[in-house]
Chains A and B, each alone.
Chain A
Amino acid sequence: MGVRVKTGRTLLAVALGLSMAVGAAHAGSYPDIGPLPQIKISKAKAELGKRLFFDKRVSGDAAISCATCHDPKQGWSQNKPLSDGYPGNGHFRNSPSVVNAVHKKSWFHDGRIGTNLNDVTRENITETYIMNMDMRIMQERFKQDPVYVKMFKDAGYGEPSNGSVRKAIPEFLKTLTSRGAPFDAGKMSGAAKRGLKLFKGKAGCIQCHNGALLSDGKPHNTGVAENFDVFLDPMNHQAFIAFAKFQGIPNYMNMKRDPGFYNITLDMADMGKFVTPSLRELKYSAPYMHNGMINTLAGVVDFYNRGGGKDSRKSDRLKPLKLSKKQKGDLVAFLESLSGDRLTSSEHVWSKSYPDEYPAIQNWKEARN
């Protein structure tokens, strides 16, 4: 335990953990599970990012926006196992909530982007099976919309540009930080408090689900069953094949499983590993797991109670937990206490309409492009 304690903050966490007397097998060995840090936000930039996030003109054929697959009404994700993807194809993974995305250190279920949200924004906009946008066209679209011209300027970005889009959307995502969760507010029910104890103790969830996000940000193989719809539905399969080919995964045409973190290392030891998801805001973002294979939080608890799924490379941290029915209920209550406000008001959702067409620039022959 001592070797892992490196920072003052962690020490504090340990002290808190001990004082709350929750500690059993895993207590105190892991970063504290809350709260999330405060982030400074530029209002004008975030407001611009908000308009961009809900704007369909960010996609190639102007048919989908970020919010199509990260819908505020669906927990800023999609309430279906597999994300829609771009028109003309499907997708091969579940759309994760973007709430708290700004607090992550790596993104996508396989963690393939570990730099910043600027890169994540670029990846989602330009990736062929996601938004398929040539950002040069996107830039010119926004230069054609007087509302954007003003908003980019007011945000200090000058004229609309690709680079500024990649900054403004992450600025907006900063506003999507959990708030009002009973766990953070110290308003947990008795069941939730018992669940927390199990979480840190008997159930051992804390081993991977730790820190402010309740995620260690690391990839693990928990043996989640494959979602056969990825491979049986050619719309999804084509997105998977395009992804796997581009990533340089050997024998991608015959692949019958999602390689997960193997995508990055090409080391078989990493086959089927996925980055531990945050447990915040789960209440509204069902179904669960990287491929949406489990419909409810109770189902997820059952899954871990069984010791996870079947995989020869499954993490040895997973073992049958022997939780009682009541204990499982307590654990679910704790998980639910990690969800706060839905963030669906106009504070977070762009509620004004977008123009139906692009007004022509007057005096075009004389105006500088």
Chain B
Amino acid sequence: MKKRMKYRHAVLMASIATTLLVGCNANATKSNSAAAEKAPAPAAAMAMGPAKLEPLGLPPIPADNKQSPAKIALGKLLFFDPRLGGDASTGCSTCHEPDQGWAWAEDFSRGYPGTVHWRNSQTIINSAYNPRNFWAGSASSLEKQARGAARGGVAGNGEGDLMEARLALIPVYAKAFKEVFGDETPLIRNAWRAIASFERTLVQRDTPIDKYLQGDKSALSEEQVRGKALFEGKAGCIQCHNGPMATDFNYYNVGVPPSPRWETDGLAQITFRFEQYAKGQTQEGYRTAKEDWGYYYRSKNSWDKGKFRTPSLRYTKYTPPYLHNGQLDTLEEVVDFYNRGGKFEDGRTTNFTKTKSKLIKPLGLSDDEKDELVAFIEAFSGEEILMEKPELPDYAPLFTKAELEAAQEAK
């Protein structure tokens, strides 16, 4: 009885999640250690409802930031504009390159000049569906993600007043902000809104898995269908990778070891310590941390050390490397990692053994089964979404010389 109650709660949670993606996440998070760790066995989960794959619907549009063609067009320009960063060399697209899966194809995101980031850059594709963004979910909306990334010391390192001043000096933007937002002069917070609107158009809903789940049984190969059965059964991926985005948006420690780069790369060591500092570590935590504490930085609960948000499996064909610190280069390696129960080939795993998810254990998959699983995971990706970078509008003086001369005369 008690058990059933819990499941009913989970069903309720799932239905809220699908209808009201934003807002329910805090609850989902709180129930993490209880509900997620004691999740039912995969077969049972399928029967109960929540752990199920679904086709991707339309992206949720926040009531306070409706879509419009003009806003999307503006957001596209801003997304590619490096002037929304500190030294005008880093924009959103700098770490979210369309031809690198709208991400950055190295283990760590490239970071602001003079720095390197410490986590893997995540794809923009389908980010519209994420209730929270960043690997530990620190941004509660796409708008806030854009703002946070543009300002972060090892990301955009931009400052609001200066970025806003730049927008005012670009006539195309001044006109567009007025039309779209009614701004007398562009407001930086509306830049983040326009960028989020553009990002909400970068969705992919016609993948083989979407077609298959909508009834087109020919959309998956036989190999992929076998992979699906493994995904939902023996391999148990479905326990976390479920729902329309193939993620429960929850936080887990799956056993990813710390990046070896922190042992050998001075620049990465700088960022590592900076992040401890910036994320509000204790003095002792700052002195002793040797891996990314993940969700702990937000919750400050010891049981959240080393937990990261379940990433979507959509579009992953184009977004190597994988994991929050980009340590695995192929989907095959990722499957191997889980098949070993959350361990690398050389035996490395998380040092946060106490928080490691009980859901992760050796799977005993055969080579064929692993191939089938990889083939199925590829069904979450459709065609590659490419986009030519738009030509960016130029600066122009705000005043004429005659106006300045008149002001000088009037002094």
Contact = CB atoms under 8 A, between A and B. Distances in A.
A228 B113 contact: no
Given A88-B88, A358-B269, A239 B277 contact: no
B206 to A, nearest CB: 40
A340 interface: no
B106 interface: no
Given A132-B157, A228-B404, A369-B276, A89 B162 contact: yes
A239 B163 CA distance: 10
Given A86-B86, A128-B159, A134-B157, 5 more contacts: A59-B114, A128-B161, A231-B398, A242-B164, A312-B411
Contacts of B278: 136
Nearest to B157: A60
Nearest to B170: A234
A88 B397 contact: no
B411 A310 contact: yes
A136 B404 CA distance: 41
A365 interface: yes
Interface of B: 83, 85-89, 112-115, 153-154, 157-159, 161-162, 164-166, 168-169, 185, 262-267, 269-274, 276-278, 286-290, 395-399, 401, 403-404, 407-409, 411
Contacts of A313: 411
A140 B270 contact: yes
A233 to B, nearest CB: 7
B387 to A, nearest CB: 25
Contacts of A61: 86-87, 89, 112-114, 157
A168 to B, nearest CB: 19
A220 interface: no
A137 B169 contact: no
B261 to A, nearest CB: 9
B277 A136 contact: yes
B266 A257 contact: no
Given A60-B112, A364-B269, A136 B274 contact: yes
Given A134-B157, A140-B277, A359 B87 contact: no
27 contacts: A57-B114, A61-B157, A63-B87, A87-B87, A87-B88, A89-B166, A128-B159, A132-B86, A134-B274, A136-B274, A140-B273, A141-B270, A143-B270, A144-B267, A234-B395, A238-B165, A241-B165, A242-B162, A257-B408, A357-B266, A357-B267, A358-B270, A359-B266, A360-B265, A368-B288, A369-B286, A369-B289
B4 to A, nearest CB: 47
A260 B166 CA distance: 22
A242 B159 contact: yes
B273 A364 contact: no
Contacts of B403: 256
A365 B162 CA distance: 40
A226 interface: yes
Contacts of A369: 272-273, 276, 286-289
A232 B270 contact: no
A311 interface: yes
A225 B407 CA distance: 11
Interface string A256-271: 1100000000000000
Interface in A229-248: 231-235, 237-239, 241-242, 245-246
Given A61-B112, A88-B83, A238 B166 contact: yes
A272 interface: yes
A223 B161 CA distance: 29
Given A368-B287, A369-B276, A238 B263 contact: no
Nearest to A64: B87
Nearest to A62: B114
Contacts of B112: 60-61
B269 A238 contact: no
A60 B115 CA distance: 9
A239 B277 CA distance: 29
Interface in A126-155: 128-129, 132, 134, 136-137, 139-141, 143-144
A16 interface: no
B397 A232 contact: yes
Contacts of B396: 234
Given A60-B87, A140-B273, A241-B168, A360 B395 contact: no
A361 interface: yes
A253 interface: yes
Contact of B161 (A60, A87, A246, A358): A246
Contacts of A245: 161, 164-165
Nearest to B153: A134
Interface in A327-369: 357-361, 364-365, 368-369
Given A256-B404, A360-B263, A231 B397 contact: yes
A367 B207 CA distance: 48
